[in-house]
């Protein structure tokens, strides 16, 4: 008898990060990092966990949408779904009445991301492999079958994707061995939140340099003079050799990996992120005013679905040596398709669960590789770092074949709540997830759920009593 998916569990988990200012930016001033968390169960003992990320209120709405999408998988044979994850993705997203309230955007789409990720987690666990290893071990044909292609074949056909993957197949093992040895390049955002004092920004920046990081990101957009001051504080530290780790001479700013990134004398790179706060003309003038701090790129300068707006900002800032990045709020593969077709971005920033799970992420990785745009995933929030190291490894080993110019965001928040937390080595790079039991690395400790589930977890009960 084939196995069947029998039931699901959903949890609304919220962490009180607004108390410390973590996550604050020009658009989002009070953030309680939250997880809409789902577990799928099969009658053969298989379990898969997935989540999507919000910043507090509204998490309960996402949880309701996740329940409706999870119902579509009840009674299905996991192995039948695993045999073509692209077809499984199409089926999961195809309920016409649920699709009507998307379609392929908003609450329904990010809920689909959580459920699809849970199915991928179950798939990886069934094969006793971390998610990235499951995918890179696929044949090119299997990987294409696992990918969502609807609406993007004018930019990338299945035949083109297959040819790209076959061209990289023979050298996958060498890249896997290399990244296991050195780790995957990371950048740090933890020092640059808008809610932090200058003293905290300086302290955290020094700590990040000492930890081996050489790419740093700060939030901008509330006040230009303050942004310039904070940026100069960060630059004064990351460009000063005295703060480098003992024995380090920094990195060559003229090396291929740093070329065009406005790297300083120690090889340090600064990026800035406006979180969509500006109109297009305002974005252009504001970022010009920050030219003295030499940013590599401005992230989310305007509305995330304004493809032509991003193209205009990129064209205007090009003479200043400042690029454009976006993607954490690009809600589907079609937006990325158009950003790439319109030459609107220098850096593609996928989000692991705003896109509707691994199957849709694969389509964006493949398109970015075709267009020659580096993928530097978004990973601020809860659980996102655990997720995206898998996606960057898939990109490097099986899809693009390069990590020379890529950097993956790292935020040092809330990793302790996961059974298989991500980690960073002494050179500021992600370690490769290697536990065969961890799947997609997103399983949360049961006691963390019990403490922070909204509204009746022990923390929130205590907070209601006045101790928050």
- The encoded tokens of residue 116 equal 């699809």
- The encoded tokens of residue 189 equal 């955002």
Which are the contacts of 181, defined by CB distance < 8 A and separation ≥ 6? none
Distance between CA atoms of 391 and 386, rounded to whole angstroms? Answer: 10
Q: Which of 76, 133, 219, 417 is catalytic?
A: 219
- The encoded tokens of residue 100 equal 């009507």
Q: Is 219 a catalytic residue?
A: yes
Q: Which of 378, 390, 413, 417 is catalytic?
A: 378
Q: Is 331 a catalytic residue?
A: no
Distance between CA atoms of 97 and 45, rounded to whole angstroms? Answer: 31
The residues that are catalytic are 219, 378
């Amino acid at each position: 008898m084939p196995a069947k998916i029998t039931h699901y569990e959903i949890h609304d988990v919220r962490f009180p990060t607004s108390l410390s200012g973590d996550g604050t930016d020009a658009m989002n001033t009070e953030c309680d990092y939250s997880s809409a968390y789902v577990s799928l169960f099969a009658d053969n003992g298989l379990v898969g966990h997935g989540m999507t990320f919000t910043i507090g209120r509204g998490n309960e709405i996402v949880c309701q949408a996740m329940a409706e999408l999870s119902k579509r998988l009840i009674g299905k044979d996991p192995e039948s779904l695993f045999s073509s994850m692209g077809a499984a993705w199409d089926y999961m997203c195809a309920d016409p009445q649920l699709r009507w309230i998307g379609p392929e955007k908003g609450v329904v789409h990010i809920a689909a991301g959580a459920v699809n990720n849970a199915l991928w987690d179950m798939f990886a666990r069934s094969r006793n492999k971390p998610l990235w290893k499951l995918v890179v071990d696929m044949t090119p044909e299997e990987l294409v079958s696992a990918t969502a292609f609807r609406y993007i074949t004018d930019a990338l056909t299945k035949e083109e994707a297959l040819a790209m993957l076959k061209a990289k197949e023979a050298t996958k093992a060498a890249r896997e061995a290399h990244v296991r040895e050195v780790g995957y390049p990371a950048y740090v955002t933890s020092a640059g939140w808008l809610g932090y004092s200058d003293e905290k920004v300086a302290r955290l920046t020094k700590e990040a340099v000492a930890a081996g990081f050489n790419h740093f990101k700060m939030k901008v957009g509330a006040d230009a003079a303050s942004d310039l001051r904070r940026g100069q504080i960060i630059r004064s530290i990351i460009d000063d050799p005295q703060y480098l780790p003992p024995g380090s001479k920094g990195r060559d700013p003229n090396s291929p990996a740093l070329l065009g990134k406005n790297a300083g004398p120690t090889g340090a790179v600064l990026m800035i992120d406006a979180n969509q706060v500006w109109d297009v003309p305002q974005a252009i003038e504001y970022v010009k005013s920050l030219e003295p701090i030499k940013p590599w790129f401005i992230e989310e300068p305007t509305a995330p679905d304004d493809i032509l707006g991003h193209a205009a900002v990129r064209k205007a800032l090009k003479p200043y040596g400042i690029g454009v990045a976006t993607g954490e709020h690009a809600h589907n593969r079609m937006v990325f398709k158009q950003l790439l077709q319109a030459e609107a971005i220098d850096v593609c920033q996928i989000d692991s669960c705003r896109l509707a799970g691994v199957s849709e992420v694969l389509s964006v990785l493949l398109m970015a590789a075709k267009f020659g745009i580096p993928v530097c995933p978004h990973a601020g929030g809860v659980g996102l770092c655990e997720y995206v190291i898998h996606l960057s490894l898939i990109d490097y080993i099986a899809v693009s074949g390069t990590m020379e110019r890529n950097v993956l965001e790292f935020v040092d928040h809330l990793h302790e709540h996961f059974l298989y937390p991500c980690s960073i080595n002494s050179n500021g790079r992600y370690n490769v997830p290697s536990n065969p039991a961890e799947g997609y690395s997103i399983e949360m400790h049961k006691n963390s759920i019990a403490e922070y589930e909204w509204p009746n977890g022990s923390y929130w009960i205590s907070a209601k009593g006045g101790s928050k």
